[in-house]
Amino acid sequence: MTNKHASNLAQRLETGLFTVTAEVTLPDSIEKEALASRAHILEPYCDAINITDSTGAVPHFSNIAAASILIENNIEPIIQFSCRDRNRIATQADVIGAHAMGVRNIFCVTGDGVQTGDHPEAKAVFDLDSVTLLTTINHLKTTGKFLSGRKLDSKPDLFLGAAVNPFVPPFEQRALRLLKKHRAGASFFQSQYCFDISRFESFLLLLLELTNGSPPPVLVGVGPLRSARFARWLRENVPGVAIPDHIINQIEKYPEKEQQKAGIEACVKIVEGVKNLTGVAGIHIMAHNWESSVSEIVEATGLTKTGRNN
């Protein structure tokens, strides 16, 4: 890391290098190795790895502990912070604690409601939303002060990101929403799963127009579908995921044992369709409990570290 850039991720995106990130599935385990082994599968193909924050309102391995384990293994984390489980006091405390352990990339999300998970009786916090979460962490970063005005000994060196979903209505508001988060402190964006390239192109065109051709870095979210049945479950149960019927129908043409291969092929086709679009800074691969598929996708699309760094 250099003084100029908070992280390798920041350096790549700020210098216009095509970037690949992926999401590691956090294990339901009490052992470090359960996480480290999954992250090591991704590391040769990724510039940084996302660590989720009890996604789907289901408790998993602690995101801050997970980030520390990745850092111990020389793997750069992007730690997600959601608004569901922390108020502004806990958020600020966790941010400076994570920074002390070496975390430099923080990704801010609202978080799924507790009713979507396996503890629907839990009490949600939502003291902040995604924009005010960004504002809060950016305040720590730029002023070196808590929201109360108390000073830190120095300013945390952070690179902040946020989510964007161009695939659900109101479509015409998505680029404006991104720019609102950008003004709040987000320096990069990762999108929800892209299964509709034309819809994403429309979003990009508006974003380019609104920014006079200089948008903040956007990494397109992609992911392989294990089966047509899984695709339907994802579409029906995960908020914000839009999978067109033709994608599911294409996978369903294959026998069940061959549908994983078809899902990877469909993902590769989408990556090929978006990777050269103006305004695309990279891809973000979400392969839940299927880390081994990431290497196939990256290699098939010519996006290995060697290939994209030349």
Residue 139 near residue 108, CB atoms below 8 Å: no
Residue 56: what pLDDT? 85
Residue 238: what pLDDT? 83
Q: What integer is the mean pLDDT of 280-289? A: 96
Within 43-86, residue ranges assigned H as helices are 63-72
Given pLDDT bands bounded at 50, 70 and 90, which one contains residue 116? Answer: confident
**How many domains, in total, are found in the chain?**
1
The answer for residues whose C-beta is within 8 angstroms of residue 163's C-beta and 6 or more apart is 107, 108, 109, 130, 189, 190, 191, 192
**Any domain includes 1:** no
**Any domain includes 57:** yes
Within the chain, residue ranges assigned H as helices are 8-14, 32-42, 63-72, 88-100, 130-143, 174-184, 197-210, 228-237, 245-252, 259-274, 292-300, 305-308
Kindly report the average pLDDT of the chain as a whole number: 95
Greater confidence, 288 or 42?
42
Q: What integer is the mean pLDDT of 96-116? A: 94
Residue 196: what pLDDT? 95
Beta bridge partner(s), residue 22? 49, 285
The C-alpha atoms of residue 301 and residue 310 are separated, in whole angstroms, by: 15
Q: What is the DSSP letter of 144?
A: S
Nearest CA among 109, 132, 113 for reference residue 121: 113
CB atoms within 10 A of CB 114: 19
Residue 113: what pLDDT? 86
Residue 2: what pLDDT? 39
Given pLDDT bands bounded at 50, 70 and 90, which one contains residue 44? Answer: very high
279-300 core/surface letters (b: 16 or more CB in 10 A; e: else): bbbbbbbbbbebbebbebbbee
Residue 310: pLDDT above 90? no
**Any domain includes 52:** yes
**Any domain includes 2:** no
**Any domain includes 18:** yes
Could you tell me the sign of the dihedral formed by the alpha carbons of 154, 179, 285, 300, in that order?
negative
Residue 151: pLDDT above 90? yes
Given pLDDT bands bounded at 50, 70 and 90, which one contains residue 3? Answer: very low
pTM of the entire structure?
A: 0.95
Given pLDDT bands bounded at 50, 70 and 90, which one contains residue 31? Answer: very high
Give the domain CATH number at 152.
3.20.20.220
Beta bridge partner(s), residue 162? 108, 189
**Any domain includes 3:** no
Q: Could you report the per-residue pLDDT of 206-249, keeping only the tens digit for each?
A: 999 999 999 999 999 999 999 999 999 999 988 889 999 999 99
Residue 14, domain extent: 8-308
| Helix pair 197-210, 174-184: axis angle to 10 deg | 50
Q: Range with the lowest mean pLDDT among 7-16, 48-57, 67-76, 172-181?
A: 48-57
**Any domain includes 111:** yes
Greater confidence, 117 or 70?
70
**Any domain includes 303:** yes
